[in-house]
Amino acid sequence: MNKPLNVVILAAGKGTRMHSDLPKVLHPLAGRPLIEHVIAAADSLAPERICVVYGHGGDVLPQAVGRDDLAWVKQEPQLGTGHAVQQTVSRLNPDAVALILYGDVPLIRSETLQELVLLAREDALALLTVSLANPTGYGRIVRNAQGGVERIVEHKDATPEELTLHEVNTGIMALPVKRLSAWLARLSNDNAQGEYYLTDIIAMAAAERVRVLPCHPGAVWEVLGVNSRMQLAELERAHQHNLAEALLHRGVTLIDPKRLDIRGELACGRDVLIDVNCVFEGRVDLADGVKIGANCVLKNVEVAAGVEILPFSHIEGARIGTGSRIGPYSRIRPGTELAAETHIGNFVEIKNSRIGFNSKVNHLSYVGDASVGSKVNIGAGTITANYDGANKHRTEIEDRASIGSNCVLVAPVRIGAEATIGAGSVINKDAPAGELTVARAKAVTVPGWKRPVKK
Ligand code: UD1
Ligand code: CA
């Protein structure tokens, strides 16, 4: 019979070596707080409950995470990992298996945890251990003559001989709640750090002939913790490497898998190509045959098949229709919808606008709060003046209109279908369909005029 699962996440520690005002577990990895990666791993096991132990930094942590379906347990003062788990005992189901996770070990995989949890029994504790070339700082796994796990000795309490052991405690374990609470009640803080060590329960288990079953992660990065900005940066790279590898496996071309950052979810169709130094945030969908040029930033964007985004474009909160060509140097802001085969060119900013089929805004323009029909051409340097200092107004440009260069369309204003607007016009009333509208001073030639000369 399967027991219910209760997860305990330890996150009360100070994170002194981050040198930060932000609680350590709120520092982002791949655009998301460390602790949210751990909570996601816990969620993937569909546990009966999740308890998070917090303390340092106060209520900032539960507020930032914003999950009231979790049991938030405050540990104050922080007297060690054993003391931390002790705070949760009253919140745990006595008939459950407890899984202990660390808020600062973000890359632990669901598959590894499932394996660990399956090993835990009434008479067996499952312990995740790993062999490290440099075990400095970690608790060492001490085994008996038969190879069974006997106890864990913390680095600061270890003898020179114990310090030579390379198998270390990851801190992650699974065991029955009943056993856990009985052992926690017997912990003492008589050790080098004057702390209640969770790790001391291993010797108690061994003494009671409860089997300690070691289990290992598929890869070392799964169990690496973040104690410093250096380690955070290293884990970020390890994680990005994994994400890039997964994309390559699915058939995406990455010009350099080392120069790509995914800070959210990136979904790619067939034959997608991504050039160097692109950043993807939030949810980004790239359909079949999409090409993304170098140095682009895309956040919450849906890109349809065959679109080409040229270098240095910044696109957020937009939908881009089939076969469109964007950039180089385009900025597309939230609320924008581009229909199929649109062309948005260099130094063009589009905000909260709909641009119809095959319309072109190719150079140096600002289009905001506008509805643009199909096959419209907007000349270089044209601006929709959408803001009167107090309110935003809309501009409507109907199908096949042609707007000359350097126009100002003062909203609210409507340009009729097939209307032509002469270059340099300031248009502050509706322009009728099919006609030429010009609003500029006539060019004048002054015959015989002479330039002034220096006296
Ligand atoms: C701990 C283990 C060590 C293991 C290492 C793996 C103990 C005694 N030692 O050591 O065997 O090799 O992790 O990284 O368990 N925390 C609290 N409250 C506290 C103290 C810690 O919530 O009072 C949390 C921290 O926020 C952190 C985790 O527990 O998420 C581990 O604490 P940390 O102080 O980093 O333990 P280590 O000394 O590294
Ligand atoms: Ca640590």
- Separation of first and last alpha carbons in the chain: 106
Nearest Cα residue to atom 3 of ligand 1: 139
Type of residue at 90: S
Neighbours of ion ligand 2 (CB under 5 A): 225
Query: Are 171 and 313 part of one and the same domain?
Result: no
Q: Would residue 248 count as lying in a domain? A: yes
Any domain includes 92: yes
At 174, list the tokens. 């699974």
Is residue 363, in this structure, part of any structural domain at all? yes
Tell me what the mean pLDDT of segment 285-313 comes to.
98
Claim to verify: residue 175 and residue 235 sit in the same structural domain: no
pLDDT surpassing 90 at residue 65: yes
176/30 same-domain check: yes
Residue nearest to atom 37 of ligand 1 (CA): 138
Q: Give the phi and the psi of residue 151 in degrees, each rounded to 5.
A: -170, 175
Question: In this structure, are 169 and 212 located in the same domain?
Answer: yes
Report which of residues 216 and 57 the model is more confident about. Answer: 216
Asked if residue 443 is part of any domain, the answer here is no
Residue 12 near ligand 1, beta carbon < 6 Å: yes
Q: Is residue 401 part of a domain?
A: yes
Domain match, 64 and 100 both? yes
Ligand of minimum distance to the alpha carbon of 88? 1
Which of 223, 72, 245, 77 shows the shortest CA–CA distance to 141? 223
Residue nearest to atom 22 of ligand 1 (CA): 12
Is 384 within the bounds of a domain? yes
Q: Do 256 and 175 share a structural domain?
A: no
* Ligand 1 center to 150 CA (angstroms): 20
Ligand nearest to the CA of 223: 1
Does ligand 1 come within 6 angstroms of the Cβ of 202? no
pLDDT tens for 399-431 read 999 999 999 999 999 999 999 999 999 999 999
Residues 236 and 203 in one domain: no
Question: Which residue has a Cα nearest atom 26 of ligand 1?
Answer: 13
Is the pLDDT assigned to residue 12 strictly greater than 60? Answer: yes
pTM above 0.85, yes or no: yes
Cα–chain-centroid distance for residue 419? Answer: 46
Residue 252 · residue 272 · CB < 8 Å: yes
Query: What is the extent of the structural domain holding 113?
Result: 5-223
Which residue puts its alpha carbon closest to atom 8 of ligand 1?
197
Cα–Cα dist 230/227, whole Å: 8
Q: Is residue 452 part of a domain?
A: no
> Which ligand 1 atom lies nearest to the CA of residue 79?
23
3-state class of 327 per DSSP? coil
- pLDDT tens digits along 150-161: 999 999 999 999
β 278-286/260-268 pair status: parallel
User: Catalytic amino acids?
Assistant: 363
225 lines ligand 1 (CB under 6 A): yes
User: Looking at the 3D structure of the chain, how many domains does it have?
Assistant: 2
**Nearest ligand to the C-alpha of residue 155?**
1
Contact partners, residue 110, CB within 8 Å, separation at least 6:
41, 44, 45
Residue where a domain terminates, one of 223, 240, 259: 223
How would you classify the pairing of strands 167-176 and 97-102? antiparallel
The minimum-distance atom of ligand 1 relative to the CA of 54 is 22
Give the residue among 102, 114, 113, 91 at the shortest CA–CA distance from 177: 91
Same domain for 239 and 109? no
Pocket test for ligand 1, best of 81, 166, 199 (most atoms within 8 A of CB): 81
- How does residue 1 score in pLDDT terms, banded at 50, 70 and 90? low
Tell how far the Cα of 380 is from the centroid of ligand 2, in angstroms.
Answer: 57
Specify the 3-state DSSP secondary structure of 111: helix
Please tell me if the CB atom of residue 196 comes closer than 6 angstroms to any atom of ligand 1: no
Residue written as token pair 């080409």: 308
Give the tokens for residue 34: 């460390």
CATH number of the domain enclosing 63: 3.90.550.10
Looking up residue 376, the CATH number of its domain turns out to be 2.160.10.10
Which residues are paired to 342 by β-bridges? none
Q: Quick one: which ligand is closest to 139's CA?
A: 1
Which residue is associated with the tokens 């993807």? Answer: 280
- The pLDDT tens digits of the residues spanning 322-376 come to 999 999 999 999 999 999 999 999 999 999 999 999 999 999 999 999 999 999 9
10 in any annotated domain:
yes
Write the residue with the smallest CA distance to atom 33 of ligand 1.
13
The alpha carbon of 241 and the centre of ligand 2 are apart by a number of angstroms equal to: 24
Residue 181 has a CB neighbour count (10 Å cut-off) of 17
Distances (CA, A) of 247 to 109, 144, 251, 256, 300: 18, 44, 7, 12, 18
Are residues 152 and 26 part of one domain? yes
The chain-wide mean pLDDT, for the chain, equals 97
DSSP summary character for residue 264: E
Question: Which tens digits make up the pLDDT trace of 111-133?
Answer: 999 999 999 999 999 999 999 99
For residue range 13-44, list pLDDT tens digits in order. Answer: 888 999 999 999 999 999 999 999 999 999 99
Domain endpoint, select from 189, 223, 257: 223
- Reduced to 3 states (helix: H, G, I; strand: E, B; else coil), residue 325 is strand
Ligand 1 within 6 A of CB of 252: no
Cβ within 8 Å of residue 152, ≥6 positions away: 139, 140, 141, 142, 169, 197, 199, 200, 202, 203
Q: What is the mean pLDDT of residues 84-101?
A: 98
Asked if 100 and 174 count as a contact pair (C-beta separation under 8 A), the reply is: yes
Ligand 1, residue 152: give the atom nearest the CA.
Answer: 11
Copy the structure tokens of residue 8: 């305990």
- Asked if residue 251 and residue 311 are part of one domain, the reply reads yes
Beta carbons of 52 and 94 less than 8 angstroms apart: no
**What is the pLDDT, as a whole number, of residue 373?**
98
216 shares a domain with 233: no
What is the atom index within ligand 1 of the atom nearest the CA of 105? 30
- Please answer whether residues 210 and 124 qualify as being in contact, where contact means their C-beta atoms are separated by less than 8 angstroms: yes
User: Both tokens of residue 306?
Assistant: 């065959």
Domain shared by 234 and 290, yes or no: yes
Picking from 223, 244, 276, the residue at the C-terminal end of a domain is 223
